[in-house]
Amino acid sequence: MSATGGSIRRRTFLAIATCSLLAATGGSWAASTTTSAAATPTIVSIEWHDGNRDSIGALRILTAHAMHATWLVNTDPILAGNPANLTPKQLQRIETTGNEVGGHTLDHVNVQPLPVDEARREVCDDRNNLLDMGLHPTTFAYPFASFDAGSEDVVHYCNYNDASATAGLTLKGPAANTVPPADPYAVRTVNAIKKSTKLATMERYVANAEAFAQANGSAWVVFVFHHLCDKGVKCGPYVVSPAKFADFLTYLQGQAANGVVVQTMAGVSGGAVKPACDPVSGAGCDTSPRP
């Protein structure tokens, strides 16, 4: 893309995002008439990884704040009926309430070292399973944040519009992705949120992204969560309590006047939902050059 084309696309996106922010009335986080005219939109996306059963509790908290998130799941344990994972019915409920459901490979495997045919099976068949559930997957997340150019090619081939890798955005910078991102198949996130992650640290990530937006004309910061558990429940280190998650969303509401808006990954990347892709024959797969 030429520099001029990128500039036009960015200005168009910012105009749309600003209008959406000003028009939003479904929740208390929406910008009020006191929003600063100089505020540059800072896009915040929230990802829930792996399809853990307890993450369904986030739906109630998101709905209470009139916000939406992106669930990125592994379909093999879901279809096997593993009680630790979400069910197809729950995934459908997540999507029908305005959230997004995307892929994370069949079995949560590291796709980077795999032979191409095996990587395609893990990524494409996972997406095909979601389509068979009546879902509309356009976003992928690399397990273990492990990827290279070949991995990106596989995700594109399997008909995803974007992909994220956990980590890459830090408190010392870079603080955010640009909009549109430099590479839609290498969208970076903050470090996965853990039990030890303080609310103040999460707020600093957003504040730094706001400063990045003012300096660069746009900002997109992505947060990754795994488990939603109350105190005393053993869910491992990658857990956030319902109270802390709710407090974080309340903080985001309070930042609306500074241009902060919460969108799903697909809401930022856009693009049509593509058909199923047969990883063996290549039927229906995207063989065009990757952006």
In a domain, 162, yes or no: yes
Helical packing angle, 242-254 and 199-216, nearest 10°: 30
In a domain, 90, yes or no: yes
Distance CA 253, CA 29 (A): 4
In a domain, 218, yes or no: yes
pLDDT of residue 289 exceeding 70: yes
Distance CA 188, CA 164 (A): 6
pLDDT of residue 32 exceeding 70: no
Domain count, the chain: 1
Work out the average pLDDT over 42-64.
98
In a domain, 44, yes or no: yes
SS (H, E, C) the chain: CCHHHHHHHHHHHHHHHHHHHHHCCCCCCCCCCCCCCCCCCEEEEEEEEECEHHHHHHHHHHHHCCCCCEEEECHHHHHCCCCCECCHHHHHHHHHCCCEEEECCCCCCCCCCCCHHHHHHHHHHHHHHHHHCCCCCCEEEEHHHCCCHHHHHHHHHCCCCEEEEEEEECCCCCCCECCCCCCCCCEEEECCCCCCCCHHHHHHHHHHHHHHHHHHCCEEEEEEECEECCCCCCCCCCEECHHHHHHHHHHHHHCHHHCEEECCHHHHHCCCCCCCCCCCCCCCCCCCCCC
In a domain, 203, yes or no: yes
Q: Answer with the residue of higher pLDDT: 36 or 80.
A: 80
For residue 100, list its beta bridge partners.
Answer: 70
Give the per-residue pLDDT at 230: 87
Distance CA 173, CA 209 (A): 9
Give the per-residue pLDDT at 238: 96
pLDDT of residue 85 exceeding 60: yes
Give the per-residue pLDDT at 72: 99
pLDDT of residue 23 exceeding 80: no
* pTM: predicted TM-score of the whole model, two decimal places: 0.88
pLDDT of residue 223 exceeding 90: yes
Furthest CA-CA distance within the chain = 56
Work out the average pLDDT over 261-274.
98
pLDDT-based confidence at 65, cuts 50/70/90? very high
In a domain, 281, yes or no: no
Q: Report the CATH number at residue 181.
A: 3.20.20.370
pLDDT of residue 30 exceeding 90: no
pLDDT-based confidence at 29, cuts 50/70/90? very low
In a domain, 250, yes or no: yes
Give the per-residue pLDDT at 12: 38
Query: Mean pLDDT score of the chain, rounded to an integer?
Result: 89
Work out the average pLDDT over 170-198.
97
Share of the chain above pLDDT 70, in %: 87
In a domain, 257, yes or no: yes
Residue 205 domain boundaries: 3-31+40-269
